[in-house]
Every structure is written in structure tokens, then in C-alpha cells.
Amino acid sequence: MQMVRNFKSAKIQLTITNNDHPKGVKHPFNNASDGVTNDQIARFSSAIEMLTAEKCLDADIIVTNQVTMNK
């Protein structure tokens, strides 16, 4: 059996902290491109910090692949 893996989708999930949530709250942002770079993630989180006046603690990149099984 041969399996073929294809990129389906990706999202960036930022953990953002503020006075109400000192441990952070996770906010997902859909439609990230396949192969998003560390520099792109850093620039995106900086833009979110400027827009919200909150602090990004970390980022998770969640990638979904579709696996097709050929028999």
C-alpha cells in the first residue's frame, strides 16, 4: 500500500497575554501558507502586538495534511 501525503491547511495559534489573562489565551489565525517561516511568524506576532497592545508569549503552527492510501 502506498500513501500520498498532501498539504491541506495550516494555522498560526498565538498565545497572547494581557492584564485579564496573565497566563495567556490562545488565538488561532487560519489560512497560513505551507512552509511559513520563523521570520514570517515573528513579523505576524509583532503586528498583532501592535494592533492589540498585548504581548505574544509563543506561537504554535498547526498543519493538516491529507493522506491518500493507494492500494
| pLDDT single digits (tens) 32-71 | 998 899 999 999 999 999 999 999 999 999 999 999 998 7
pTM over 0.85, yes/no: no
DSSP state letter for 12: E
Number of domains in the chain: 1
Distance CA 70, CA 50 (A): 48
Q: Is the pLDDT of residue 28 over 80?
A: yes
Collapsing DSSP states into helix, strand and coil, what is residue 46? helix
- The kind and range of the H/E element at 40 are helix 38-52
pLDDT (mean) for 3-7: 92
Collapsing DSSP states into helix, strand and coil, what is residue 39? helix
Domain ranges, residue 42:
3-69
- The kind and range of the H/E element at 36 are none
